[in-house]
Structure 1
Amino acid sequence: MKGILIVSHGNLAEGMRDTLELFAGKLEQLDTLTLSAGQDISDFRDKLSDKIELVDTGDGVVIFCDLAFGTPANVIAKMLTDVKHKDRLQIITGMNLPLILEYSQFRSDNVDFNDMISVGKDGIMNWNETLNI
């Protein structure tokens, strides 16, 4: 089973985990990492490596990140150039609760990430329009 790491600017990742566990219960091999304002990037990179090692039991890690091209996603993407991480990490940016909840329920090697991302996208709606208000 792949580990899950939720990464964000600020405390979003911790809030996402809290809400995820409200729906899914306590999940194994799940952790969070936040980038604080003014945090040293090398410190963040070191903590990221530690968290990956913590949740990876040999099957790899799916990392859900808040923002494409933000510092956390860029640091993670740079890790993919290292042979050690290239085949172990799957990075999904633009995370939302439906997306992470969907993955947390299946967590298999056969997950079609494009289908899973569609679940996250489908959860974004203009609710007024949907309700015809």
Structure 2
Amino acid sequence: MTGYTDSQGEGGNMAHIIIASHGGLAEGMVDSIGMVAGGAADRIETYSLHPGENPNDFYEAMRERVAHDSEQYIIMCDIKGGSVHNALFRLTEFPNVVVFAGVTLAMALEVVLTVQDRLEPDAAERVLDAARAGVTVSFGGALPTDEAEDEEF
């Protein structure tokens, strides 16, 4: 199946981490995670939907995997309600699947650096908090105050 890479390799007992996106976003995120977190990025699998492909094909392949595996699958999708998310969200019929929508680099880093064998609900909230905290907006034209600079560090 094109658009799918398995970076995890053999020898598990760790949660499976998958970033799924339209186009090459997933691979780009893994590349960026590798720059920030080194070898931790090696445990991330990617799925990239390309023109002419059907996300339901990936869903079917993943459904087979998930149904026969007790390890947890953490799937981070690019857009809530997008075709990739809609297809993979259906995997939550299995108790060993967690699906996030709206993946950010901060979210993916939090997952890959903190989750070993399982993501519990309280840890999932911390992942969402990390993602939310990393989304900000700054308008030009005003000099930052000392207080604002102190908050950055």
TM superposition score category, shorter chain reference = 0.7 to 0.9
Q: Which residue of 2 aligns with 1:72?
A: 84
TM-score (norm 1): 0.79
The amino acid across from 1:69 in the alignment is G
Q: Which residue of 1 aligns with 2:28?
A: 15
Larger Rg: 2
Write the deviation string for residues 15-46 of structure 1: whole angstroms up to 9, x where unpaired.
Answer: 00110111111235321001112213443334
Aligned residues: 126
Contact 1:3 1:57 in 2 (8 A): no
The amino acid across from 1:95 in the alignment is V
1:47, CA displacement in angstroms?
A: 4.6
Residue 39, structure 1, aligned to residue 47, structure 2 = no
Unaligned runs of 5+ in 2: 1-13, 146-153
The separation in 2 between residues aligned to 1:66 and 1:30, in whole angstroms, is: 15
Contact 1:2 1:57 in 2 (8 A): no
Aligned 1:40-55 pairs, distance under 5 A: 40-49=54-63
CA RMSD of aligned residues (A): 2.6
Residue 103, structure 1, aligned to residue 120, structure 2 = no
Q: Please say which of residues 122-131 and 35-44 is displaced more in the overlay.
A: 122-131
1:47–1:18 CA distance, 2 compared to 1 (3 A): farther
Give the % identical residues.
24
Unaligned runs of 5+ in 1: none
Q: Which structure is higher in RCO with an 8 Å CA cutoff and minimum separation 6?
A: 1
Aligned 1:55-66 pairs, distance under 5 A: 58-66=70-78
